[in-house]
Amino acid sequence: MKPKMLQQGDTIGVVAPSSPPDMVKLKHGFRIYEKYGLKMKLSPLIAQREMYLAGTDEERAHNFMEMFLDPEVKGVFSAYGGYGSARMVEYLDFEGIQANPKVFWGYSDSTFLHLALYQQTGLVTFHGPMMSSDLGGEVDPLTELYLSQVMKPKIIIYDESISPLYVINQPAQPRTAPVIGGNLTLLISSLGTPFEINTLGKILFIEDVDEEPYRVDRMINQLRMAGKLAQAEAVIIGDFHRCFPRKRTESFSIEDILLHHVKKANVPAIGVMSAGHGNSTISFPLGANATIDFDNKTITFEPGLRGE
């Protein structure tokens, strides 16, 4: 279920489903979308603080639903990540969201929302940088280039002109399937819940930030032992930003860890795609099909929008 594209004059609903954003950076981040002719509507409690959360779980869920049900709002964008989206997902009205499909944009802690929205409603969402944490200062040209895909259906082709790519367990044929996933920490937190990630027949995308290699090892090992790697059609490895040893100086590299578990699961994989918490990152739809051509090292994402 693809949302309708945004047009000049449309309103974006800006929400904080996790931690509260920096309001100065948030308002600075509006400028890019304002260039597209879009207007902003802030969640009324976006600056609310409940310790490290932007309000109570019920309040954040209510604000999120208000934006999806508001006929004036055509897209719902996360202002900031941090922590907390998984705490409020159980309060969402998925039937209401399914009846009002809109562009949903975010990443990091919003991974849990991407997963829940797709698996509960079939809604295609967008993995991309957020206004406060990523667009509130200088924005890398590559990052900005992919933000406008909410305005027009667009095929996205990722190849080695953007970054070097390597292949693990190269298959004989390309793989085409819906892309799901996001932040590895949040994917692991879904296991054993009603929103557990289902990778069967899907292309799994993973990324993370500020995790030591041994912690990434522990998480990817759990994902593999839960069968989530082997069930996937393929894996796209994103940016594991600042994931270097601190506590344990004798350490495997992130590359060693990913190679070990992907090979053990015997699943085709390609990486590293500049997507995630790095300064230079592409945005792409989750839930829409992508095709990985392992011979030519290209990843082609179909548009995440319907055109009318």
Query: Could you give the residue numbers annotated as active site?
Result: 108, 207, 277
CA 38-43-47 angle, to 5 degrees, is 120
CA distance 205 to 137: 27
Q: Can you tell me whether residue 268 is helix, strand or coil?
A: coil
**DSSP code per residue over 105-156:** EE-GGGHHHHHHHHHHH---EEE---TTTTTSS---HHHHHTGGGGSS---E
Helices 254-265 and 213-225: crossing angle in degrees, nearest 10, is 10
Phi-psi domain of 117 (left: phi exceeds 0; alpha: psi -120 through 50; beta: other):
alpha
Nearest Cα to 168, choosing from 238, 244, 290, 264? 264
Cis-peptide into 272, omega within 30 deg:
yes
**DSSP code per residue over 12-71:** EEEE-SSSPP-HHHHHHHHHHHHHTT-EEEE-TTTT--BTTBSS-HHHHHHHHHHHHH-T
CA distances from 201 to 116, 142, 167, 293 (A): 17, 30, 19, 17
CA distance 188 to 263: 20
Helix (H) or strand (E) holding 92: none
Specify the residue for token string 């995440």: 304
